[in-house]
Structure 1
Amino acid sequence: MSENREPENNGNPWMKSLLMWGGIFLALLVVVSIVGGPRETAGTQLKYSDFRSKVAEGSVEEVQIGPDRITGRLKNDETFVTLPVAGDTNLTELLEQNNVRFSGIAPQQQSMLFMILIQSLPFLLILGVAFFALRQVQKGGGSGAMGFGKSKAKLLTEKQGRVTFDDVAGIDEAREELEEIVEFLRDPQRFSKLGGQIPKGALLVGSPGTGKTLLARAIAGEARVPFFTISGSDFVEMFVGVGASRVRDMFEQAKKNAPCIVFIDEIDAVGRHRGHGLGNSNDEREQTLNQLLVEMDGFEANEGIIIIAATNRPDVLDPALLRPGRFDRQVVVPVPDIEGREKILAVHMKKVPLAPDVNPRTIARGTPGFSGADLANLVNEAALLAARRSKRLVAMQEFEDAKDKVMMGAERRSMVMTEDEKKMTAYHEAGHAIVAVHEPASDPIHKATIIPRGRALGMVMRLPERDSYSYHRDKMHANLAVSMGGRVAEEIIFGHDKVSSGASGDIQYATGLARNMVTKWGMSEKLGPLQYEDQQEGYLGMGGSQRLMTSGDTSKLIDAEIRALVEGGYQRASDLLTEHQDQLHLLAQALLEYETLTGDDIKQLLEDGRIDRPERPSGPIKIQPVHGSAIPKAGKRFGGEAPQGA
């Protein structure tokens, strides 16, 4: 970006402000010293009465009498000064009687020009400060005093760290769309000779952390044109009309630097639907949006200005903003797939010294659903762990530990749990794991642990074998059964009255999944393939849901179907754990002994009854009897008879 134009003023604004206020302070000191400061005169200060006494004593040699002071010299050559007293008319007689030589002092005469300068200096100082403030307002950028209506857009240069398309990986389709815009700016004749016109704007849409802002920085690094960046919230102020003024000023700056690119991050802060929300239709935000619409495509064409905006909430944007002629292209920046994750990891691993055993492909397979920001955080956490362990290279073990920390939370080994709590947690997690193993549609187990992580006392982590873009009915029913496995295991082993609150998160997940199956995905035979809930403001599942207008009978039927799905998952988990109760005991005892088991450990344990680990001698896992265990009778679990415990 060597051709980017630098701002006109390259000086240090802090130094200029310091010099300005320093000059004002010195000018004030001069005014005070000249006008109001006391006039110092050499000599000893005497009271007038003491002066008359010394004259009467004959100690005074000579004096000079002025209109506002009397100076003189004593016979011991010491000088003095005193202030005369009005009404003393016999001073000259007293001086003559004591043979003191005296004379008068002519008043000091000052030039008319000097007097005018002294009197006008405060007014000149006020005029100078006002002129400086006006100059700051005219310079723009919103940094000057009263610069409310000036744009806060910043001109991005190479000094801020150049990012190119080589630093962007895993979102090839989005990158190709924006590479075409850069090529158009570099060589417009290549497209215009076939009748093509430069696009007015491109909207980057994607979940948080997928790389929208990084793509914009890459455009700034590749394009040989000025690149302005601003946030959507910078337009909105408490003063009415300020946002519209800033939009006008931003486009005026862009016109002076055309062809150029203007990047607006989080445009949903200013581009929401008009007429929605609090306030009337003439509020500040809507005025700002109206001005943005006019500047992008109004009577005056802004040739050579490309607007690139980013948001993760496209559903809340005003339709007038999304029409062709304003944002001509909507570029979706998705969560990367396994190939994209491997490329993103390769980009971030360039800055990290890696051990020979590090395999980015393996890490990419174990991080489904991770965004670019998540992967960058994973690499950073692995580097921090290696530094904490005083290693020179970052090994695969650090990446595995960092992945567990990011996905499941940090270990809380300092948390003290009683033996009963550990046993309850072990059987709870073993219940999840056994149901997951025997449900064909469930994802394979990656790791099971009873070490507290984050807010959970234990966790069973499942990872899909490949990236999933949609879920099938059988997998949803399997997930419902797995989520209920922990609560069922507690009831089987400890009895109905001893179940804990540890299944609260499982119940919340199961209820939400069943609700979506009934109200959004049409997976209820009684209600049919209809939508009964609408997604509120949000993107890709973020935000709340609102039930559409339904009759009372339909609402009751929806709640009954949700209950039936969750009860079905509970019953499937109960049947599986009742049938494989020996495996439940075996896995729980292994978790109590090893605390953390991998998917391979669980597979070997259920097949051979033992776990082979180099750090511990291999041997069969011994099953210790648990006091109070009983197998509940099959039947209703919600509102029915409680299972009998021993």
Structure 2
Amino acid sequence: MTSSISSIKRRQFWRKILIALISVGVIGGAAAYFTYKQNHRITQTYSYFAADLEAGKIGTVRIAPNRDSGKADVTLKDGGRYIVELPSMDVDAANRFTAKGANVEIDPHAINLDTMLPMIVLLAVLGLFGLIASRPEPLALPFRKKQRQSQVCFADVAGAEEAKKNLMEIATYLKAPDVYEKIGANFPRGVVLYGDPGTGKTLLAKALAGESGANFIATNGSEFSSMFVGVSTLKIKRLFAKARAMAPCVLFIDEIDAVGGKRMNEGSAAAREMSSTLNQLLVQMDGFEANNGVIVVAATNRLDSLDPALLRSGRFDRRIQVGKPNLKEREQILKIHGSKVRVEDNLNYSEIARQTIGFSGADLANVMNQAAMIAVHNGADKVALENVLRARNVMLMGEERRSTLSLIDQDARRRLAVHECGHAIVAMAGGTDPVTAVSIVPRGQSLGQTFMAPTNDQLLVERKHLVNRLHVLLGGRVAEELFMHSMTTGADDDLQRASDIALNLVCRHGMSEFGLLTIDEHSSPQMRYEAEMKAMHIMAQAKQNTSAILTTHQNVMDAMVERLLEKEEIDIDDIKVFQAMMDDNPVALAVAA
């Protein structure tokens, strides 16, 4: 690094002092000039001028061309001068002045400084500030988002504790660079934040700038694209020049994979332009010109798509994963968004967090906002737990389509109830993911739903859990066969997901008698055939176990179907009643899974 951040800050301080002094000098000089002109220029009335004209004292009357009326500069024969406002000026007036012995002169360069000079001074001051603000590239192209200061700090970000810890080190460097420079620590060039959409990568970048007090510039990769050759590279060059002028500065590039993707065959003009744009980005981040006081923070959902040259040390020194929040972090995020709306005093945030496993920070914000809208629609003045849970269901499955339900006849309704109760009973028998609600109200693309909420965040999944999922997915189809004595296409999605689980047990997870070998498209046809046969065997076993569960609990099935047909949706209180009925009659599986 050729210059430290502290020296950059000192230069910026003295630059601001110089700008202030120059501005005060220009404005003060202009004010002094106008004061001098006001005190030393004599203005007379037209009557005074007429008297001098009649007395033959006027030597010269100088006026501007094409002027019907206005100020004229009068010079007397004895050398005196004054300004007079003429009511009109035409040929007759000029002849009248000439007849009295006065010379009438037309000054083609005459301008009214009283009017023009204030405008000139104002434009000069604005131009000076514009020149300083645009250094070193006064023609920098505009970007969608650009901020001087970020008002967000790490205290405003809930969750992502590991990511915040890493970024806090960089913020500390930006705030107190001398401590690190004493032992020779180099300023980090860049940070890549990667993870699922909606996990708070942009918010973390703003918090880094706000916590460190650095300036903040935000843009995204797609804004560098252009239909003209060379414009993309020029945008990158001018953006980095702008960031250097604002140092210390955090330069945030969202969706950097749009400009920093892996280079491909440069046979087409588009590929060559993309390669040229990427090369310019590489040079700006770690070229001959140092990025004094500029740290680049990039965000992407696809880290594997970035070019290796961009990810090497010296460009992006750190890669920080921003994952989805865990149970505790979800509760913290919900409380932050819950503070922005009116909620009941006893709102159970922990229960909401438990039932929103897999939700990102953006999803949780949307859930609380949707809950507030639902509360208003229901005529309530505060958000209750049922509003939030309904908003969660809308997020997962879509809005209710009760108009579609009214078109379904009684036989089809009973089939839907049997199908969904089949899922629910098998899930309750498995004891893995608790059932929270069952509904036959159409939502989104689904005609019925069985809602389950895992008890905790699952980072590792046991084989037993996968097999239970397989049983639950087959529960709807098997229930139709057992109690409706026919099959429909309503289980298509269930069968697809069940097939994926069975194939993954064999081909990917090594959880079958087939062994630990991974089977993929590169395996031999014989191996793939044997793997598919083993997956079919697992599906057959799961169907037998599902049939055994539903046959054993036929009394629960009958009661639950009637209850569901009556209410159209049964909640956790009803589920607990049916769960108690099942606990009195455990099931011995027909075939060990």
Please state which band the TM-score falls in when normalised by the shorter chain: 0.7 to 0.9
Counterpart contact for 2:262–2:307, Cα < 8 Å: yes
Matches within 5 A, 1:9-88: none
Deviation at 1:219, TM superposition (A): 2.2
Query: Aligned match of 2:242 in 253, 261, 268?
Result: 253
Distance 2:236 2:578 in 1: 66
- Structure 1 contact 428–487 (Cα < 8 Å) conserved: yes
Query: What secondary structure sits across from 1:152 in the alignment?
Result: coil
Task: Call closer, same or farther: CA 1:443–1:213 in 2, change over 3 Å.
Answer: same
Cα deviation for residue 254 of structure 1 reads 1.7
Residues 275, 281 of structure 1: 8 Å contact kept = no
Aligned equivalent of 2:481:
491
Alignment partner, residue 376 of structure 1: 365
Contact 2:146 2:217 in 1 (8 A): yes
Output the amino acid matched with 2:241.
Answer: E
Q: CA deviation at 1:396?
A: 2.1
Residue 263 of structure 1: aligned partner: 252
Residue number in structure 1 paired with 2:517: 530
Q: Which residue of 1 aligns with 2:549?
A: 576
Unpaired runs of at least 5, structure 2: 1-8, 20-105, 109-129, 583-589
- Which stretch shifts more, 365-374 or 431-440? 431-440
Distance 1:154 1:458, change over 3 A: closer
**Aligned in 2, Cα 1:466/1:187: closer, same or farther, shift over 3 Å?**
same
Alignment partner, residue 102 of structure 2: none
Q: Does 1:502 align with 2:471?
A: no
Per-residue CA distance 1:530-572 (angstroms, 9 max, x = gap): 3334xxxxxxxxxxxxx3x222212222322332333332222
Q: Matches of 2:211 and 2:261 in 1, distance apart?
A: 31
Q: Is the 8 A contact 1:236 1:284 kept in 2?
A: no
Partner AA of 2:528 in structure 1:
S
CA contact (8 A) 1:248 1:295 kept: yes
In structure 2, the CA distance between the partners of 1:287 and 1:451, relative to structure 1 (3 Å rule), is same
Structure 1 position 563 matched with structure 2 position 536: yes
Q: 1:452 to 1:281 in 2, by over 3 A?
A: closer
Q: What secondary structure does 1:157 align onto?
A: strand
Comparing 233-242 with 462-471, greater Cα deviation is found at 233-242
Structure 1 range deviating more: 428-437 or 594-603: 594-603
Which deviates the most, 315-324 or 573-582?
573-582
Per-residue CA distance 1:278-332 (angstroms, 9 max, x = gap):
8479521111111111111123322211000000110111111111111111111
Give matches, 1:145-224, under 5 Å.
150=141, 152=143, 154-157=145-148, 162-224=151-213
CA offsets, 1:611-637, max 9 Å, x none?
Answer: xxxxxxxxxxxxxxxxxxxxxxx99xx
Q: How far apart, CA to CA, are the structure 1 residues paired with 2:473 and 2:415?
A: 16
In 1: Cα distance, 2:250 partner to 2:420 partner = 53
Residues 507 and 601 of structure 1, relative CA distance in 2, 3 Å threshold:
same
* Bigger radius of gyration among the two: 1
1:401 aligns with 2:374: no
Report the Cα distance in structure 2 between the residues aligned to 1:140 and 1:169, rounded to whole angstroms. 36
- One-letter amino acid matched to 1:530: L
Distance of 2:440 and 2:177 partners within structure 1: 62
Q: How do residues 462-473 of structure 1 correspond to structure 2 at under 5 angstroms? A: 462-473=452-463
2:450 counterpart of 1:460? yes
Does the Cα contact within 8 Å between 1:140 and 1:150 map onto a contact in 2?
no
TM-score using structure 2 length: 0.72
- 1:582–1:228: structure 2 CA closer, same or farther, 3 Å change rule? same
C-alpha distance after superposition, 1:457-488 (max 9, x if no partner): 11111111111112111111111111001000
Asked whether the 8 Å contact 2:134–2:242 carries over to 1, the reply is: no
Give a deviation string over 1:355-380, Cα, whole Å, max 9, x none.
12212112111111111001100110
Residue deviations 1:154-187 (CA, integer Å, cap 9, x gap): 43135xx832222210111111211221111111
What amino acid sits opposite 2:443 in the alignment? R
Name the structure 1 match of 2:506.
518
Question: Under a length normalisation based on structure 1, what TM-score does the superposition of the two structures give?
Answer: 0.67
CA distance in 1, matches of 2:201, 2:579: 46
Asked if the contact 2:201/2:322 (under 8 Å) is kept, the reply is yes
CA RMSD of aligned residues (A): 3.1
Distance 1:196 1:137, change over 3 A: closer
Shift of 1:443: 1.1
Quick check: 1:151–1:249 contact (8 Å CA) kept in 2? no
Tell me, yes or no, if the aligned pair for 1:140 and 1:151 is still in contact at 8 Å.
no
Report the counterpart of residue 59 of structure 2 in structure 1: none
Query: Equivalent pairs: percent with the same residue?
Result: 41
What are the superposed Cα offsets for residues 12-54 of structure 1, whole Å, 9 maximum, x if unpaired?
xxxxxxxxxxxxxxxxxxxxxxxxxxxxxxxxxxxxxxxxxxx
Contact 1:444 1:465 in 2 (8 A): yes
Q: Is 1:303 paired with 2:276?
A: no
> What does the per-residue CA deviation read over 1:462-517, in whole Å, with 9 as the maximum and x for residues that have no partner?
1111111121111111111110010001011122xx31111111012112222333
TM-fit CA distance, 1:387: 1.6
C-alpha distance in structure 1 between counterparts of 2:296 and 2:163, whole Å: 16
Contact 1:204 1:330 in 2 (8 A): yes
Deviations 1:396-444 (A, max 9, x none): 222222222222322222222110111000000111111112224x311
1:222-371 equivalence runs, <5 A: 222-275=211-264, 279=268, 283-371=272-360
Residue identity in the other structure for 2:374:
L
Letter in 2 for 1:259: P
Correspondence for 2:123 = none
| Contact 1:411/1:454 (<8 A) preserved | yes
Quick check: which one's helix share is greater? 2
Query: Which residue pairs with 1:447 in the alignment?
Result: 437
Q: Deviations along 1:103-153, whole A, 9 cap, x unmatched?
A: xxxxxxxxx999xxxxxxxxxxxxxxxxxxxxx999989xx9xx8x94637
Q: State the shift of 1:340 in Å.
A: 0.2
Q: Is the 8 A contact 1:244 1:288 kept in 2?
A: yes
Q: Is the 8 A contact 1:230 1:263 kept in 2?
A: yes
Q: Distance in 1 between matches of 2:168 and 2:143?
A: 27
Residue 543 (structure 2) pairs with residue 552 (structure 1): no
CA distance in 2, matches of 1:457, 1:198: 57
Structure 1 residue 518: Cα displacement: 2.7
Structure 2 counterpart of 1:369, which letter?
G
The CA distance in 1 between the partners of 2:147 and 2:419, in whole Å, is 54
Structure 1: runs of 5 or more not aligned: 9-111, 115-135, 534-546, 610-633, 636-646
Contact 2:171 2:209 in 1 (8 A): no
Count of aligned pairs: 462
Does the C-alpha gap of structure 1 residues 138 and 270 become closer, same or farther in structure 2, counting only changes over 3 Å? farther
